[in-house]
Amino acid sequence: MNGPQRHPVVLVGAGPGDPELLTLKAIRALRRATVALVDDLVQPGVLRFLRRSARVVHVGKRGGCASTPQAFIHKLMVAEAQRGERVVRLKGGDPFVFGRGGEECDALRAAGLEVEVISGLSAGLAGPASIGVPVTDRRHTRGVALVTGHAGEGGEGSDEPDWAALAQSGLTLVVYMGVARVRTIASALAAAGMDAATPAAVVSQAHTPQQRHALCTLGTLAEVVQAKALGSPAILVIGDVVRVSAQWAVAQQDLAVRRA
Ligand code: SAH
């Protein structure tokens, strides 16, 4: 009973946006693929590395919008691979950083399929870097915590990180999926004793032509996000490392001039 040859399913990190931030391995996998299951954070420019004959299935799910259920994505990957297709599962950033890559690996292995994971540059590192913020600058911090600001599928607060512990940790906080709940997050950190003057930044649509950002403080973060209409996808960075950005100094000068 010889079925079609099965190829490993490849989970590919597409990076934050700019196709130039793809890895060579990612490009090679895209060139080989016959079927690509694509998340909607993946920028269109990345798809140009696929063969013309490749079938592209958009399985995106943006916060709050209609989404393809995860179970359906699992079934589709399994079915296509079992038919002998070379399946690429293309995800924004890194597949294992808030990308449900672990769950997808489990589902594929449970179906007896091999999985290969190609890391991508995560938005939580590349976003801050794009505005000159080194998230682990040792003069300011001992490390960085990558956390979700999303409320969780079980209702408001169900997947919530321990904001009080994070506020006390001295780590740089990089918050994914947090922009819609920025007011709640900033209040929770302030309530746990984080100084309102702690530098903060927001980077929206990092490494895309639509990139915008703001530099502010924990105390002004929510109002700045609203005033500048900085929408999802966006990364929040909270911590003293934000001071290192050359743009932080410029922003402080602007503020001083406006106040004078
Ligand atoms: N696996 C992805 C994260 C997926 S979760 C990664 O490693 O980057 C989706 C969240 O990632 C968004 O809500 C946003 O917080 C962040 N994100 C993804 N792409 C982004 C981009 N280009 N600019 C800013 N934030 C981005």
Could you tell me the CATH number of the domain that includes residue 151?
3.30.950.10
**pLDDT at site 64:** 43
- Kindly state whether residues 215 and 229 are assigned to the same domain: yes
- Kindly state whether residues 112 and 186 are assigned to the same domain: no
The CATH number for 60's domain is 3.40.1010.10
The DSSP element (H or E) to which 81 belongs, if any, is helix 70-82
**pLDDT at site 250:** 87
- Kindly state whether residues 38 and 142 are assigned to the same domain: no
Q: Which one from 18, 39, 91, 194 is the annotated catalytic residue?
A: 39
C-alpha 211 to ligand 1 mean position (Å)? 12
How many domains does the chain fold into?
2
- Kindly state whether residues 159 and 184 are assigned to the same domain: yes
Q: 203 forms bridges with which residues in the sheet? A: 213, 235
- Kindly state whether residues 106 and 174 are assigned to the same domain: no
- Kindly state whether residues 40 and 109 are assigned to the same domain: yes
Domain-embedded: residue 95: yes
Residues 6+ apart with CB under 8 A from 34: 51, 53, 54, 55, 85, 86, 87
Strand duo 212-217 + 144-148: pairing: unpaired
- Kindly state whether residues 250 and 140 are assigned to the same domain: yes
Domain-embedded: residue 104: yes
- The answer to whether 194 is a known catalytic residue is no
Domain-embedded: residue 208: yes
Domain-embedded: residue 1: no
Last residue of a domain, one of 91, 118, 145: 118
Q: Which one from 18, 94, 177, 194 is the annotated catalytic residue?
A: 177
Strand duo 212-217 + 199-204: pairing: antiparallel
- Kindly state whether residues 148 and 255 are assigned to the same domain: yes
Could you give the 3-state DSSP secondary structure of residue 112?
coil
CA 229, 233, 237, 238 dihedral sign is: positive
Last residue of a domain, one of 69, 89, 118: 118
**pLDDT at site 209:** 96
Pocket of ligand 1 (CB under 6 A): 16-17, 41, 91-94, 97-99, 122-123, 127, 176-177, 203, 205-208, 232-235
On whether the CB atoms of residues 79 and 85 are closer than 8 A, the answer is no
> Distance between CA 67 and CA 60 in Å, rounded?
6
* Domain range enclosing 107: 9-118
- The answer to whether 1 is a known catalytic residue is no
Domain-embedded: residue 53: yes
Last residue of a domain, one of 79, 95, 118: 118
The edge-to-edge listing of strands for the beta sheet with 172-176 is: 144-148, 172-176, 234-238, 199-204, 212-217
- Kindly state whether residues 86 and 104 are assigned to the same domain: yes
- Kindly state whether residues 106 and 67 are assigned to the same domain: yes
**pLDDT at site 173:** 98
Question: pTM for this structure?
Answer: 0.94
Domain-embedded: residue 152: yes
pLDDT under 70: residue ranges of the chain: 1-2, 61-67, 153-158
- Kindly state whether residues 249 and 129 are assigned to the same domain: yes
**pLDDT at site 63:** 45
- Kindly state whether residues 142 and 206 are assigned to the same domain: yes
> Distance between CA 172 and CA 142 in Å, rounded?
8
